[in-house]
């Protein structure tokens, strides 16, 4: 069992590298259906279940330091080739899709509780209300609702378990569906011309960049880490609230830095995509390393309730995707912007195109604004059902 942070990091890096190498060098059809990033997520989560590493102080410190420091750096690197003029064309459509995702999640909580509330404790509606705030916004919204309902920390255990286990499975599923985007869009009849245009522009930007070499890689790595450090420092100085935590400020600052630097000669340096993707894979491995399939049996009723919420949410999204000809990118990122927030939505967006990362960040920001209000409203409905 690994208890040392460096050994833990080395193992995750090796697993990620071997999976990426296998995808590039083999003709195994498995990679046609499951992207390397999904196989990485599943593999690391499986090893975590078997207890290959322990959540020791060293391992936990390594996890927190890497995840917190690499996320702003990754966002900055992946935004260097973003063309905001084209991304803004997606604004209205993405906003409506995001609201649809929020409403369907709220209906998922209400529908689940209407079906199973007799199986829970009398005050179970409170932790579910707090969880709904998290799944329509983020952790800050959950904390805000917890305080508004005077909910003790001891009563939050099952909600946090659902937020961990069901969320991990949902992220893995949405990433796995990326390879089926074209078939899905044909089924819904979605017009992806605008998204395709952004992808084409990205490809043009890629070909216009200078060849990747040692000096450019070194400079980009140093610059991305510096931006991460400065973003965290500045984010810590700005006022925080239930809607805008220091972490949220950090992501916003790193995003703005990436957009601004994309208009400078720095954006033409080769290697930003490669470095950003390496950081992305490591972040995904880190997230998966904290998940555990064994937790599925610890509180089966609550875990099942979480999956019922996600099922209702998915069915509603599928219905409206077919009805209004929505594409898989739009509904997938809108869903994860609600359920996963700023830490996950950009990752899913980057699986489609690095130029679309700002859309994921933008929608996650909307979640922070609406999550507390939506969660409190869901709580009122759940309280009425319980009584």
pLDDT in tens, 370-381: 777 888 889 889
pLDDT at 230: 96
Between 380 and 95, the more confident residue is 380
Confidence of residue 202 (pLDDT cuts 50, 70, 90): low
Residue 157 maps to a domain: yes
> Residue for token digits 């195109």?
353
- The answer to whether 210 touches 204, Cβ cutoff 8 Å, is no
Q: What angle do CA 160, 161, 164 make, to 5 degrees?
A: 85
pLDDT at 91: 63
pLDDT at 98: 86
Please state which of the ranges 55-59, 159-163, 189-193, 225-229 shows the lowest mean pLDDT.
159-163
Nearest to 363 by CA among 106, 138, 107: 138
Confidence of residue 83 (pLDDT cuts 50, 70, 90): low
pLDDT in tens, 139-165: 657 766 776 777 765 566 677 778 777
Confidence of residue 76 (pLDDT cuts 50, 70, 90): confident
* Whole-angstrom distance, CA of residue 18 vs CA of residue 147: 45
pLDDT at 367: 75
Confidence of residue 84 (pLDDT cuts 50, 70, 90): low
* Whole-angstrom distance, CA of residue 378 vs CA of residue 125: 9
Residue 96 maps to a domain: yes
Give percent of the chain with pLDDT exceeding 70.
Answer: 82
Count of domains for the chain: 1
pLDDT at 242: 55
Query: What's the chain's length in residues?
Result: 387
Whether residue 29 has pLDDT greater than 90: no
Between 27 and 230, the more confident residue is 230
What number is the average pLDDT over the span 56-79? 88
Residue 176 maps to a domain: yes
Between 119 and 80, the more confident residue is 119
Whether residue 362 has pLDDT greater than 80: no
Tokens, residue 70 = 């690499």
pLDDT in tens, 337-353: 888 776 677 778 877 76
Residue 205 maps to a domain: yes
Between 116 and 212, the more confident residue is 116
Tokens, residue 332 = 């997938």
Return the HEC string of the chain: CECCHHHHHHHHHHHHHHHHHHHHHCCCCHHHHCCHHHHHHHHHHHHHHCCCECCCHHHHHHHHHHHHHHHHHHHHHHHCCCCHHHHHHHHHHHHHHHHHHHHHHHHHHHHHHHHHHHHCCCCCHHHHHHHHHHHCCCHHHHHHHHHHCCCCHHHHHHHHHHHHHHHHHHHHHHHHHHHHHHHHHHHHCCCCHHHHHHHHHHHHHHHHCCCCCHHHHHHHHHHHHHHHHHHHHHHHHCCCCCCCCHHHHHHHHHHHHHHHHCCCHHHHCCCHHHHHHHHHHHHHHHHHHCCCHHHHHCCHHHHHHHHHHHHHHHHHHHHHHHHHCCCHHHHHHHHHHHHCHHHCHHHHHHHHCHHHHHHHHHHHHHHHHHHHHHHHHHHHHHHHHHC
Structural domain harbouring 155: 82-272+295-386
pLDDT in tens, 288-311: 888 777 765 657 888 899 999 999
Biggest alpha carbon distance in the chain?
A: 66
Residue 285 maps to a domain: no
Whether residue 203 has pLDDT greater than 60: no
pLDDT at 382: 92
- The answer to whether 244 touches 139, Cβ cutoff 8 Å, is no
* Whole-angstrom distance, CA of residue 207 vs CA of residue 322: 36
Residue 64 maps to a domain: no
Whether residue 274 has pLDDT greater than 80: yes
Instruction: Kindly report the pTM of this predicted structure.
Output: 0.67
Confidence of residue 49 (pLDDT cuts 50, 70, 90): confident
pLDDT at 34: 65
């Amino acid at each position: 069992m690994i208890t040392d942070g460096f050994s833990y990091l080395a193992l995750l890096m090796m697993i990620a590298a071997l999976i990426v190498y296998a995808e590039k060098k083999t003709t195994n059809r498995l990679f046609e259906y499951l992207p390397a990033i999904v196989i990485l997520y599943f593999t690391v989560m499986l090893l975590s279940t078997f207890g290959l590493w322990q959540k020791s102080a060293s391992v936990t410190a390594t996890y927190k330091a890497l995840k917190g420091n690499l996320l702003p750096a990754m966002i900055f690197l992946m935004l260097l080739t973003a063309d905001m003029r084209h991304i803004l064309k997606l604004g209205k459509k993405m906003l409506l899709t995001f609201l649809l995702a929020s409403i369907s999640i709220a209906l998922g909580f209400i529908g689940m509780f209407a079906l199973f509330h007799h199986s829970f404790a009398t005050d179970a509606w409170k932790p579910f209300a707090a969880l709904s705030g998290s799944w329509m916004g983020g952790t800050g919204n959950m904390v805000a609702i917890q305080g508004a309902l005077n909910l003790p920390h001891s009563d939050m255990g099952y909600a946090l378990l659902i937020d961990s286990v069901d969320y991990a499975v949902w992220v893995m599923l949405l990433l796995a569906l990326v390879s089926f985007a074209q078939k899905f869009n044909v089924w819904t009849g979605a017009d992806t011309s605008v998204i395709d245009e952004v992808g084409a522009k990205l490809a043009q930007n890629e070909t216009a960049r200078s060849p990747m070499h040692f000096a450019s890689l070194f400079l980009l790595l140093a610059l991305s880490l510096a931006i991460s450090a400065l973003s965290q420092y500045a984010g810590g100085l700005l006022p925080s609230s239930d809607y805008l935590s220091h972490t949220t400020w950090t992501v916003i600052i790193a995003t703005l830095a990436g957009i601004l630097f994309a208009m400078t000669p720095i954006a033409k340096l080769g290697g930003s995509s490669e470095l950003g993707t390496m950081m992305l894979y490591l972040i995904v491995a880190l997230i998966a390393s904290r998940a555990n399939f064994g937790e599925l049996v610890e509180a089966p009723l609550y875990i099942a309730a979480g999956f019922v919420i996600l099922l209702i949410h998915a069915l509603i999204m599928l219905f409206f995707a077919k009805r209004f000809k929505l594409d898989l990118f739009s509904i997938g990122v809108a869903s994860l912007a609600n359920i996963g927030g700023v830490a996950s939505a950009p990752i899913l967006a980057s699986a489609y195109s690095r130029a679309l990362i700002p859309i994921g960040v933008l929608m996650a920001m909307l979640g922070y604004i609406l999550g507390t209000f939506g969660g409190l409203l869901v709580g009122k409905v759940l309280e009425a059902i319980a009584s």
